Structure 1
């Protein structure tokens, strides 16, 4: 949905008197509409399913979730620490009893040893009620090369397009776009106005007139991904050990399991496919990123991490997005595409 439609739906949900249940990755949308949260996640390297249900707004849920996780972790660590201290003291007493200069058959020693054994059983039994260090779904990590830097006077794009067409149908006209240096440009607009088509034209123009390395995330990931390959084989075609190690490391930072790294791409989720394309850009050292709705398949846990990484990225970014958080945190310049052309917002 484009931003206008998203905002209409927000108003509808806010004003309606009937219950609404929805799934969304859009943090701004969730914050503006939800008054109860069902959070479903996979913990312990995606082995353990977990859900949380709470009747409170999203921002309040995040605040309480973080506080509760910190408290639970503190209590769990203290319980383990106290237990270890008790066990150490118990061992000291046990060793003294074992080495007392009295006969093993002495009733007083036997009584003391029996008491110590019962004490150890009680201590071990108590550990069954210990809180566990909370397991949560881990956010992906995006590590763009910090040495990538496009000079601020470097001309990335100078586009002048009389008409924007698809299948002989004119969508827009008189499009002019100039991008310099590490500018981070986002294009918004109504659906079917031609944003993805314009993005492909921009990519072709940069490829034709620039030697910069370009990374591209299309709206349809399968345009670039061979579904019969594994993620590792997509990233490394030569089989070189160093490249393989780097690919495994980057995929691991994106929270791919070993099985997911080796299975065919057709079995990956939309979010995993998007991460795979980003890993490719990172490994290739791309200096220009062309991204068509980069956050649309990422969870609210991963989107903030990606936005931070892209905001700090030293190259140029040209993107289409309906994600208001992305537009606020990443985009340095926003253009709206209409039937009349591009307008800076």
Structure 2
């Protein structure tokens, strides 16, 4: 359906592709992977002709419809969310627009002379609308929006009043409703809560067209794709299998390449030693000459390209008392909406609580109460002896001073620390070399999250309160964070929609439901096994 043939592409001084080739076949579900800046979004834009390759060609079979979701959703306002979604549903939305125009014409007395032609055209257009299942369109649009966690009020309200994250969901719903032959989804899992993510996963599994997608959610990617295309060093390599298979295969290929490289290096060293030793002796001239020619003809094995892996190790935090945080008889509401009525909850040393609950259940509110960023209406929150808290909140990224560089931000936070130690810290979180001199205002969402995390983790806390710490983080940084937090010896209270993060780091689950609060011993994996669902809003 789609073929990339020997494409080369350069952006400024950065070479993205060198004679790279790959294909997307009918019905395939493919994950596109590669480090940030490798050219994943550029590849999507070349497929939909928003950019052209410098060399080579991108060919799409005649008649193939493509739905492309990217992070740039454009302007939305003046319509309801449902109307916005229906308007982007491809051919059927054009037919619906013509029907509305014809209906207006039939009611217009000034067009009475043309009524015969208008009615005839209306019949044709109506037939086409039925053929495209147009009358079921609104129902399907509402179904998709409900899957992405829209309430009826949000569906019917002005789309312009929605936040950026919810507008992203509207843009995604448009593509899903369109059901094109090919979907190109660039980070569809961003901005989604766990329930929406699981719904989208099921939707894409049942989708019969071809799919090419990127995602920073490993579990989501792994459950959907059966083929992976990797961008690495300008070339595209295809692996048949899910994301886990790709990782294992890639590691094995690297190992084999390393072994081949080492064998060849040993052989070359031996040959060079022989040449050096005997090159001055006339009696060995023929042998030396023959070995020199042999070396010239050998195809050199390159060592495997080492991906820069970020590693962060906690310095040991001071030990806290056994009672880390205690909430007694907490009442909290916003206006008429009650969030908590008499909540009792405590965190003890070395407990790692993940907080589960549908949108609006009060997950972030709980974290704010514990962190002191919000006050209860009634009741008491107390933090235990020797507790040093690190709080990661979504709004913390907005508080960075745009005029300060990454390095200056770290210096401001830790004026006593040595330059070397702060450079190492910046490097651990992906700001090596010139990146440490970037102004905060030009940082991406992921870079801001990494900087806030670096500030929080440098002077080690023994109690971490984390509200969606994995939002905006790429797969490599997420893995680094999971590894680092796996070795963390303090207590944790966190909210995340990343199932790998939840499963790897929790040893307790607090579930917030309309019926009340439930506490589970054992982590997220045990919670799923015990309840039979992956999130509180979903019941199998």
Using structure 2 for the length normalisation, give the TM-score.
Answer: 0.55
Q: Is the 8 A contact 1:36 1:53 kept in 2?
A: yes
> Which residue of structure 1 aligns with residue 361 of structure 2?
193
Q: Is the 8 A contact 2:227 2:239 kept in 1?
A: yes
> Which residue of structure 2 aligns with residue 106 of structure 1?
none
Find the residue that maps to 2:404 and give its secondary structure.
coil
> Which residue of structure 2 aligns with residue 234 of structure 1?
409
Query: 1:196-345 maps to which residues of 2 (within 5 A)?
Result: 196-204=364-372, 212-237=387-412, 242-345=417-520
Distance of aligned partners of 1:84 and 1:139 in 2 relative to their CA distance in 1, 3 Å threshold: same
Distance of aligned partners of 1:142 and 1:118 in 2 relative to their CA distance in 1, 3 Å threshold: same
The alignment status of 1:131 with 2:322, answered yes or no, reads no
Post-superposition CA distance 1:65-92 (Å, at most 9, x none): 1111100111122212211211111111
Higher RCO (C-alpha under 8 Å, 6+ residues apart): 1
Post-superposition CA distance 1:286-306 (Å, at most 9, x none): 121111112233333332332
Deviation at 1:252, TM superposition (A): 1.6
Distance of aligned partners of 1:50 and 1:254 in 2 relative to their CA distance in 1, 3 Å threshold: farther
How many angstroms apart in 2 are the aligned matches of 1:139 and 1:199?
31
Post-superposition CA distance 1:193-222 (Å, at most 9, x none): 332232112100778776532212112342
The alignment status of 1:182 with 2:350, answered yes or no, reads yes
Distance of aligned partners of 1:291 and 1:339 in 2 relative to their CA distance in 1, 3 Å threshold: same
Where does the alignment leave 5 or more consecutive residues of structure 1 unmatched? 42-47, 101-108
> Which residue of structure 2 aligns with residue 165 of structure 1?
333
How many angstroms apart in 1 are the aligned matches of 2:413 and 2:240?
52
RMSD, aligned CA: 2.8
Find the residue that maps to 1:61 and give its secondary structure.
helix
Q: Is the 8 A contact 2:227 2:242 kept in 1?
A: yes
> Which residue of structure 1 aligns with residue 204 of structure 2?
13
Post-superposition CA distance 1:230-252 (Å, at most 9, x none): 12111112886852211101222
The alignment status of 1:39 with 2:214, answered yes or no, reads no
How many angstroms apart in 1 are the aligned matches of 2:514 and 2:474?
32
Distance of aligned partners of 1:162 and 1:286 in 2 relative to their CA distance in 1, 3 Å threshold: closer
Post-superposition CA distance 1:294-335 (Å, at most 9, x none): 223333333233223212211111111112222222111111
Q: Is the 8 A contact 2:310 2:430 kept in 1?
A: yes
Q: Is the 8 A contact 1:308 1:330 kept in 2?
A: no
Find the residue that maps to 1:302 and give its secondary structure.
helix
Q: Which moved more, 1:60-69 or 1:232-241?
A: 232-241
Distance of aligned partners of 1:285 and 1:52 in 2 relative to their CA distance in 1, 3 Å threshold: same
Where does the alignment leave 5 or more consecutive residues of structure 2 unmatched? 1-191, 376-380, 521-540
Distance of aligned partners of 1:14 and 1:233 in 2 relative to their CA distance in 1, 3 Å threshold: same
How many angstroms apart in 2 are the aligned matches of 1:277 and 1:51?
34
Distance of aligned partners of 1:36 and 1:166 in 2 relative to their CA distance in 1, 3 Å threshold: farther
> Which residue of structure 2 aligns with residue 96 of structure 1?
281
The alignment status of 1:62 with 2:247, answered yes or no, reads yes
Distance of aligned partners of 1:276 and 1:239 in 2 relative to their CA distance in 1, 3 Å threshold: closer
> Which residue of structure 2 aligns with residue 105 of structure 1?
none
Find the residue that maps to 2:493 and give its secondary structure.
strand
Q: Is the 8 A contact 2:397 2:449 kept in 1?
A: no
How many angstroms apart in 1 are the aligned matches of 2:353 and 2:250?
34
Find the residue that maps to 2:355 and give its secondary structure.
strand
The alignment status of 1:87 with 2:259, answered yes or no, reads no
How many angstroms apart in 2 are the aligned matches of 1:175 and 1:341?
9
How many angstroms apart in 2 are the aligned matches of 1:207 and 1:79?
64
Q: Is the 8 A contact 2:316 2:460 kept in 1?
A: no
Find the residue that maps to 1:236 and give its secondary structure.
helix
How many angstroms apart in 2 are the aligned matches of 1:281 and 1:58?
31
Distance of aligned partners of 1:162 and 1:181 in 2 relative to their CA distance in 1, 3 Å threshold: closer
Q: Is the 8 A contact 1:150 1:182 kept in 2?
A: no
Q: Is the 8 A contact 1:36 1:55 kept in 2?
A: yes
